[in-house]
Amino acid sequence: MTDHSPLLGGLSPARFLADHWQKKPLLARNALPGFTTPISPNELAGLACEETVESRIVLERGGPQPWALETGPFDEDRFARLPDTHWTLLVQECNRYLPELAALLESFNFIPNWRVDDVMVSYAPTHGSVGPHMDQYDVFLIQGLGQRRWQISTDPVTDDNVIPGIDLRIMRDFQPTDEWVLAPGDMLYLPPGVAHYGVALDDCMTFSVGFRTPTVSELLTGFLDELAGRLDERQRYHDPDLPLQAHPGEITAGARTRIRRIIRDALADDAAIDQWFGRYITENKSGQSAEPPEHPLTADAFLQRLRDADALWRSEDARFAFIDDGADDITLFVDGQAWPVPRTLTEAVATLCDRRRLTPGDFGAALRDATFIQLLGQLYNAGYLELPQEHNA
């Protein structure tokens, strides 16, 4: 990305991160010049009929109650029975199904890749909406078809400001502080906690690039679950220096000190936390695993195929990240697994984690390193890397 990109309304990535990221909204007109939707409304509806695709329909009107929620997969005739207005179809993880949307994520490489969640695509006819609401994650809303009016409120949202008795957390009272109409190519960035209300002004498609924000509860329970699973049960509370105490019902200062020490010592292993987090944050949350090729390849055969294809894609069913903690090896994390890699291959591994679309030339001299070729072959055989002609076959 250039220092002053239209994607960010003329701001540099550094300026955007300093002034807007998780702080305040940003409207970028013509953020993606010439952007057109890579999927039609009918094709999106077809995706929503697939068993493995997460999809929803929100009906403001025409359902059993206002703001009725239906979850997919849907039968084809469901779409024929929808009203003419006031509904929205939402399909998650469309970057898994459309290479164009996987490539779109490259535009957001100024944010760490491990923070990326997915690209959700929504279609709505006139007046379609999911209601005024607030999300707890960062999102870039890209207009792909038609026009949508966005209203936002930067006022605090109280926990009780929701319509009772429905499946969605839609605000009961929404007073906008700003309003814009977005056309194809326009983009609106919203940080967590900003209430927003989008309404389709005509047949409308919006592409939402969302970013993961794990809760503190998820992080703590995730690490503690792993920690508990690898502790030896023979490690127990012990107090061989137990003194006689005046009150047997008292938890003494000495006992409390021992308990605190046990817990603090268990949580003080920074390397264990780092390794756990690398696995945790690259796990596939959708439950859809990468699909290995029908015929595994040797490292040499893979290298030849790679050179013939002159392109390499990362599977959208796998997340990639790495940690360099100064040790002899760096650690590559893919789909919840850890792969130690010699430090001499740091640049090649960083390239692999930084970009979704690659060519052999991007790896430089590493493609003459037997260890790196073997690593790429293993990742290919696991389904984490794809050769594009095979992906499109």
CATH number at residue 347: 3.40.366.30
Per-residue pLDDT tens, the chain, 393 aa: give them.
556 778 999 999 999 999 999 999 999 999 999 999 999 999 999 999 999 999 999 999 999 999 999 999 999 999 999 999 999 999 999 999 999 999 999 999 999 999 999 999 999 999 999 999 999 999 999 999 999 999 999 999 998 999 999 999 999 999 999 999 999 999 999 999 999 999 999 999 999 999 999 999 999 999 999 999 988 888 899 999 999 999 999 999 999 999 999 999 989 999 999 999 999 999 987 777 899 999 999 999 999 999 999 999 999 999 999 999 999 999 999 999 999 999 999 999 999 999 999 999 999 999 999 999 999 999 999 999 999 876 555
290 occurs within a structural domain: no
196 occurs within a structural domain: yes
Nearest of 369, 209, 203 to residue 299 by alpha carbon? 369
> Residue 48 belongs to a domain with what CATH number?
2.60.120.650
What confidence score (pLDDT) does residue 174 get? 96
Q: Do 221 and 204 fall within a single domain?
A: no
Q: Do 225 and 164 fall within a single domain?
A: no
pTM of the model: 0.92
Q: Do 205 and 336 fall within a single domain?
A: no
363 occurs within a structural domain: yes
Q: Do 86 and 159 fall within a single domain?
A: yes
280 occurs within a structural domain: no
Choose one of 163, 181, 211: the last residue of a domain: 211
Q: Do 223 and 178 fall within a single domain?
A: no
Q: Do 220 and 314 fall within a single domain?
A: no
Q: 135 forms bridges with which residues in the sheet?
A: none
Q: Do 155 and 28 fall within a single domain?
A: yes
170 occurs within a structural domain: yes
347 occurs within a structural domain: yes
* Number of domains comprising the chain: 3
11 occurs within a structural domain: yes
Q: Do 223 and 328 fall within a single domain?
A: no
- Sheet containing 337-342: give its strands across: 320-323, 329-334, 337-342
Q: Do 171 and 262 fall within a single domain?
A: no
- Which conformational region is residue 131 in: left (phi greater than 0), alpha (psi within -120 to 50 degrees), or beta? left
Residues with Cβ < 8 Å from 219, sequence gap 6 or more?
277, 280
Q: Do 205 and 328 fall within a single domain?
A: no
What confidence score (pLDDT) does residue 289 get? 83
What confidence score (pLDDT) does residue 2 get? 53
Q: Do 13 and 86 fall within a single domain?
A: yes
What confidence score (pLDDT) does residue 231 get? 87
Q: How far is CA 356 from CA 144, 172, 350, 360, 371, in A?
A: 22, 41, 12, 13, 21
Q: Do 201 and 136 fall within a single domain?
A: yes
38 occurs within a structural domain: yes
Domain, as residue range, for 253: 216-233+249-268
